[in-house]
Amino acid sequence: MSEAKAAATAAEKLQKGGQSAENAPKRKGLDRKKRKAIFICVMLAFPLVQLFVFWFLVNVNTVVMSFQEFDWLSGKYIFNGFKNFIRVFEEIGGGSAVTRRTVINSVLYFPVTCFISLPLSILFSYFLYKKVPGAAAFRVIFFLPSIIPVAVLTMTFSFSFDATLGFVNPILRALGVENIPSWFGRYPNNQIMIFAYCIWAGLGTNIVLISGAISRIPVEIMEYSKLEGVGKARELFQIAIPLVWPTITTTFILGCTSVFTVMMQPLMLTPSTTDTYTIALMIYNGVLNGRNLPYLSAFGLAMSVIGVPIILLIKWALGKVYADVEY
């Protein structure tokens, strides 16, 4: 009897405890979804603030400044309309030899990058895909310039052609060449050497992108072309290139943007001359020295207004060459 009474008492206590737990106030706190949302907002806050301050505000300030000039009497920037833009096109047209050569140098990076470096990258990528002897070693050699810092790479390239320290001049003398040019001495030799450096250093990234795209082509397609007796040249131009055309288009567009972005190469290889100036380098040096910021803002904005539609037109035209293929 006592055991039954004890069991009833224990059950009653358990029941009361359960009721008290249910009636107890819930602990305040954020549920999992709210905590996740807060975490995402905190993680996105820094890059968004950085984008707003260092991209949006900077570009807005650049556009506003391009329509201003500095008034020495008041010590402030005042609105001057389109005078800066008129000066830009006057100097490009022949008013300033430095500005005109700067634009010409920059535009020349387009054919060098898109019609010399890119075709070589496609050709080398195809050879690596076909696993020619030493393909793994060549892959490392081609990509090596892309992972070495630009300062080290330009120094190595420049020292190779140095009159006393380099190894190129002694080799040319041993081959019987007497009139060895001053490689980085004067224009246009120094500009040609910068183009040569850009071709050599730019192959690695393009080869990685294009060879990766070619390696994703289904093996059955290549095997079928081999059974049909398709030669390597036809396989490259009629099968491989059309199938990886979106990747080639991307690298071509990136090559077009080099007109506006090349700066480190001439800065590191020919730091003491304006003969090899590019658009980016001219703006960089002007801002660094604090010279005529409104004019430089108008110069950069004018080049962007001209260049962006051209690049978009090129992208549209390239998209019409081959249709995108899913595989």
Report yes or no on whether pTM surpasses 0.75.
yes
- CATH code that applies to domain 91-319: 1.10.3720.10
Nearby residues of 191 by Cβ (< 8 Å), 6 or more positions away: 105, 108, 275, 276
Give pLDDT, residue 57: 92
Neighbours of 268 (CB within 10 A): 18
pLDDT, one tens digit per residue, over 34-61 is 888 898 999 999 999 999 998 999 899 9
- The stretch 241-245 carries a mean pLDDT of 94
> Distance between CA atoms of 267 and 8, rounded to whole angstroms?
91
CB–CB of 105/191 below 8 Å? yes
pLDDT, one tens digit per residue, over 76-95 is 889 999 999 999 999 998 87
Looking from the CA of 318 toward its CB, the CA atoms found within 13 Å total 19
Residue 248 tokens read as: 């080639």
pLDDT for residue 20 is more than 70: no
By DSSP bridging, strand 76-79 and strand 68-71 are antiparallel
pLDDT, one tens digit per residue, over 138-163 is 777 788 877 888 888 999 899 999 88
What is the chain's length? 327
Nearest to 158 by CA among 104, 200, 109, 208: 200
Domain ranges of the chain: 33-58, 91-319
Q: 26 pLDDT band (50/70/90 cuts)?
A: low
Give pLDDT, residue 21: 47
Residue 159 tokens read as: 């020292």
- The stretch 195-215 carries a mean pLDDT of 90
For 273, list phi and psi in degrees, rounded to 5: -140, 150
> Distance between CA atoms of 21 and 27, rounded to whole angstroms?
12
Exposed/middle/buried for residue 203 (C-beta within 10 Å: 0-12, 13-18, 19+): buried
* More confidently predicted of 134 and 192: 192
pLDDT for residue 186 is more than 50: yes
Residues 65, 55, 302, CA angle at the centre, nearest 5°? 45
pLDDT, one tens digit per residue, over 254-292 is 999 999 999 999 999 998 889 999 999 999 999 888 878
Neighbours of 293 (CB within 10 A): 19
> Distance between CA atoms of 280 and 261, rounded to whole angstroms?
6
Nearby residues of 167 by Cβ (< 8 Å), 6 or more positions away: 160
pLDDT, one tens digit per residue, over 98-123 is 999 999 999 999 999 999 999 999 99
- The stretch 298-306 carries a mean pLDDT of 93
> Distance between CA atoms of 310 and 317, rounded to whole angstroms?
11
Give pLDDT, residue 281: 94
